[in-house]
Amino acid sequence: MRHLKLPLGMSDFEEIKQNGYYYIDKSGLISDLLVRKAAKVTLITRPRRFGKTLGMSMLAHFFDIEKNSRALFEGLEISKQKELCVQWMNQYPVIFLTFKKVDGLNFKSAYEMLEATIAEFCQRHSFLMESEKIAKEQKEVFQRLKECRASGTELKNSLEFLARMMQIHYGKQVILLLDEYDVPIAKASSNGYYKEMLEVMKAMLGSSLKDNPSVKFAVITGCLKVAKESIFTGTNNFVSDSILSFGFSEYFGFTQKETEKLLLDADAAEYALAVRKWYDGYHFGNYDIYCPWDVLNYLHDLQDNPQAKPASYWKNTSDNAIIRSFIDYAGSNITRKMETLLSGGYIVQQIEENL
């Protein structure tokens, strides 16, 4: 078996490309976002460990005006679209934030993590304090955000404020990339401060996405579509892409063709049947999709031990509190269905994507 440099647990596009890790080309997502599925705001929901953060990192490196990413994309599908690359590659200021660390046993600790997330972005963009185009009063607010001493109102409006600052500095609209947007709300639901966190996140997302002239477009990713409280109500040209949609199905997870090529490159085609039996458990849009976390972990084990057996690597990668609470809420009806599945049977169930 050929040993590939597998990017297990890695979600930084630049790190993977610069250090020669095996990369399955998902750069077609860029042209689809810009041309085929162009929208002011795009929400993409997928299960954990399906490459959402890596995809967002790729987008950030492609668009960010502060980077020179041509070498990273050389040879990838998007590089063949010369005019698109000239027009978009490293041509726009980017706000790329992940909310995956916004967690806590109470609202105070989670709120502090949210403050730290915004502060970290400000620290990386401290050069804005030196910009002659930005007013003194704006710099003072920026400094408070940077030092985690902004008021509640300033934090709620921080994304809108930062987009406006960057637009003033660069003279161009901002591309907004928000990863794991639902984590603060899901964690709050599990730990008893749902209403408080929902108020903050609703205000933060609402002010930055609704009729914001500083934002060219936004892409948001998460596991859940939080729609009951209408977080995105009023957002113009809003597109939601879930596992039931047909827009970006092939860009998150491995397709059949990509999995076959990965096994071929690893000289492990003989394990294709086992990989398919264990990990080809998803159907997104028109595509049968493999869980990439499972496939990469199994291939990693095979490289160390060709006799390794498949395992359920994915099951220990997430907090399942929201599923447990749903089963408790649903009662005996869902319990019977779960028992059917666990005994080797099957059920036919309509999926409700709005939680």
Torsions phi, psi of 285, nearest 5? Answer: 60, -120
pLDDT at 285: 86
* Fold observed for domain 13-241: Rossmann fold (3.40.50)
**Tens of pLDDT along the chain (355 residues)?**
899 999 998 999 999 999 999 999 999 999 999 998 778 999 999 999 999 999 999 999 999 999 999 999 999 999 999 999 999 999 999 999 999 999 999 999 999 999 999 999 999 999 999 999 999 999 999 999 999 999 999 999 999 999 999 999 999 999 999 999 999 998 998 899 999 999 999 999 989 998 899 999 999 999 888 764 567 766 666 888 888 888 899 999 999 999 999 999 999 999 999 999 999 888 898 899 999 999 999 999 999 999 999 998 887 666 666 677 777 777 777 888 889 988 999 998 877 766 5
pLDDT at 333: 78
Element containing residue 45 per DSSP (H, E): strand 41-45
In this prediction, residue 112 carries a pLDDT of: 98
The whole-number pLDDT of residue 115 equals 98
- Measured between alpha carbons, how far is 17 from 241 in angstroms, rounded to an integer? 27
Please report the pLDDT score of residue 211 as a whole number.
86
Residue 89: how many other CB atoms lie within 10 Å: 23
- Which position has the token pair 């406006």? 164
Cβ neighbours of residue 155 under 8 Å, at least 6 residues apart? 114, 115, 118, 145, 200, 204
Domain with CATH 3.40.50 in the chain: 13-241
161-189 per-position pLDDT tens digit: 999 999 999 999 999 999 999 999 989 98
Alpha helices, DSSP H only, in the chain? 13-18, 28-31, 52-63, 70-73, 82-88, 107-124, 136-146, 152-156, 158-170, 183-191, 194-209, 256-265, 272-279, 292-304, 321-330, 332-342
